[in-house]
Amino acid sequence: MKLFVGNSNRSLAESIGKYLELPLGLASVKRFADQEIFVEIQENVRGEDCFVIQSTSYPANDHLMELLIMIDALRRASARRITAVLPYFGYARQDRKAGGRTPISAKLVANLITEAGADRVMTMDLHAGQIQGFFDIPTDNLFAVPLLARDIKEHLETDHVMVVSPDVGGVVRARALAKRLDAPLAIVDKRREKPGESEVMNIIGDVKGRHCILIDDIIDSGGTLCNAADALMAAGAKGVRAYITHGVLSGGAVARIAASSIEELVITDSIEPTKAIREARNIRVVTIATLLGEAISRTTTEQSVSSLFD
């Protein structure tokens, strides 16, 4: 087994390598003057089981091209099997035609990864579960809920906790967390007037006197989460924390979270945290290195991955 990494999240890849007691494979990922990407695999991979760890986070297109070119380089170097490990799968929010004459970019990206030469895909908390079906190769969608539930139990008394889904679409994820915590569930009903903005309309469930835990897969601008937190506090919640798998946190999101009524935002390192995130007063990062490392180990030894979440 060999691990290779692009430029998107080297610190996570190093942590995975430490868990597996494996050094990262030798590879050079460079840019020409016109920003063309050049990859050179600098060690023998013939007949090896190779894993390419690369989140397609900002800049998404550059990191996606690095991934595709690394897969192609490994395929042409006669690797036995190539697994694309995407802790964060970019373009996942474009999983359907949202209007006339719009693309399904998640399917296009799945096709690109497959055609580049990947034999398997491993990712985490896909925005929409059906994206697994966009790939014509085996795909493992890992879940962060067990990891997040363990963190909540370590930092909070769960007697008065209530799990809250920030929208109707996230109810399945929220229910899974609520079941692990043996906690009740509430839902924020909101109406989005235009892209990038949301208006909270109603809270479904009695949150009065509860410590509310908002759970979601992606936080981008942070507007939806902050509005939901304000609505929960107005409805009598004692406090609001948020647990999000993928901290995209674009634009002024970090400042927005810092100024909000959210006591603490917990994200994973599926996307490499920026300096602003690391220095934010109410943002904390938990690592998924152990989970990914164990999934990689089980893949290469042909053991069950789904049993990780039993």
Splitting the chain (310 residues) into consecutive groups of 10 residues, what average pLDDT does each group show? Answer: 97 98 97 97 98 97 98 98 98 94 97 98 95 96 97 92 93 96 93 62 92 97 92 96 98 95 98 96 97 98 93
Q: Number of structural domains, the chain?
A: 2
Q: Please give the pLDDT value at position 200.
A: 63
Q: Please give the pLDDT value at position 98.
A: 87
> Rounded to an integer, what distance in angstroms lies between the CA atom of residue 275 and that of residue 133?
36
Note whether 164 and 178 are same-domain residues.
Answer: yes
Note whether 199 and 261 are same-domain residues.
Answer: yes
Q: For the chain, what percentages of helix, strand and coil (3-state, to nearest 5) are there? A: 35, 25, 35
Note whether 119 and 173 are same-domain residues.
Answer: no
Which of 190, 208, 238, 275 does the annotation list as catalytic? 190
Handedness of CA 214, 215, 221, 224 (dihedral sign): negative
Q: Which CATH number fits the domain that encloses residue 37?
A: 3.40.50.2020
Note whether 224 and 156 are same-domain residues.
Answer: yes
Domain of residue 185 covers 145-287
Q: Please give the pLDDT value at position 103.
A: 97
CA distances to 106, 132, 217, 236, 277 from 110, in Å: 6, 9, 19, 44, 30
Residue ranges at the known binding site for D-ribose 5-phosphate: 192, 216, 220-224
DSSP assignment of 196-218: TEEEEEEEES--TT-EEEEEEEE
Note whether 296 and 265 are same-domain residues.
Answer: no
Residue ranges at the known binding site: 34-36, 93-94, 127, 167, 192, 216, 220-224
Its pTM stands at 0.94
> Rounded to an integer, what distance in angstroms lies between the CA atom of residue 54 and that of residue 85?
6
End-to-end CA distance of the chain: 26
In terms of Cα–Cα distance, which of 168, 94, 83, 156 is closest to 130? 94
User: Beta strands 239-247 and 81-86: pairing type?
Assistant: unpaired
Note whether 187 and 198 are same-domain residues.
Answer: yes
Note whether 215 and 253 are same-domain residues.
Answer: yes
Residue ranges at the known binding site for Mg(2+): 127, 167
Note whether 200 and 254 are same-domain residues.
Answer: yes
Note whether 24 and 134 are same-domain residues.
Answer: yes
190 is catalytic: yes
> Rounded to an integer, what distance in angstroms lies between the CA atom of residue 110 and that of residue 95?
11
Note whether 219 and 298 are same-domain residues.
Answer: no
Note whether 174 and 118 are same-domain residues.
Answer: no
Note whether 78 and 115 are same-domain residues.
Answer: yes
Residue ranges at the known binding site for ATP: 34-36, 93-94
Q: Please give the pLDDT value at position 197.
A: 59
